[in-house]
């Protein structure tokens, strides 16, 4: 049986100091990022919902309120710039049972 998409949109994924542009997708099973081909660090990553411990808002460059940090169970953070971060935070928190 296939995955069900919950939310999808354009996003940047921070890899080191580079904000890699692409698409972020939340399904009923995982969070998926796929970069555009125009980046230096092209990549695709996915994280099972069971591997996500939480999500919180962050500020890009310390000032712009458009980022989210996804905390993994191993203690690392994956950071993204998204549109409508409140919707992303609510959707991810709901998907991992954190509401």
Domain count, the chain: 1
Q: Which of left, alpha, beta for 97 (phi over 0: left; psi -120 to 50: alpha)?
A: left
Count Cβ neighbours within 10 Å for each residue of 21-41 and write b for 16 or more, e otherwise.
ebebbbbeebbbbebeeebee
Count Cβ neighbours within 10 Å for each residue of 59-78 and write b for 16 or more, e otherwise.
eeeeeeebbbbbeeeeeeeb
- Residue 42: domain span: 5-95
Give the CATH number of the domain where residue 21 resides. 2.30.29.30
Query: Whole-model pTM?
Result: 0.90
Summarised one tens digit per residue, pLDDT across range 41-91 is 677 899 999 999 999 999 988 898 999 999 999 999 999 999 999 999 999
Summarised one tens digit per residue, pLDDT across range 23-53 is 999 999 999 999 887 656 677 899 999 999 9
């Amino acid at each position: 049986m296939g995955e069900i998409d919950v939310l999808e949109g354009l996003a940047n994924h921070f890899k080191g100091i580079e904000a890699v542009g692409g698409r972020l997708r939340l399904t009923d099973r995982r969070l998926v990022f796929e970069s555009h081909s125009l980046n230096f660090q092209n990549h695709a990553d996915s994280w099972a919902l069971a591997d996500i411990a939480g999500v919180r808002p962050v500020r890009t460059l310390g000032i712009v309120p458009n980022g989210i940090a996804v905390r993994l169970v191993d203690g690392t953070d994956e950071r993204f710039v998204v549109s409508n971060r409140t919707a992303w935070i609510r959707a991810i928190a709901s998907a991992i049972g954190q509401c």
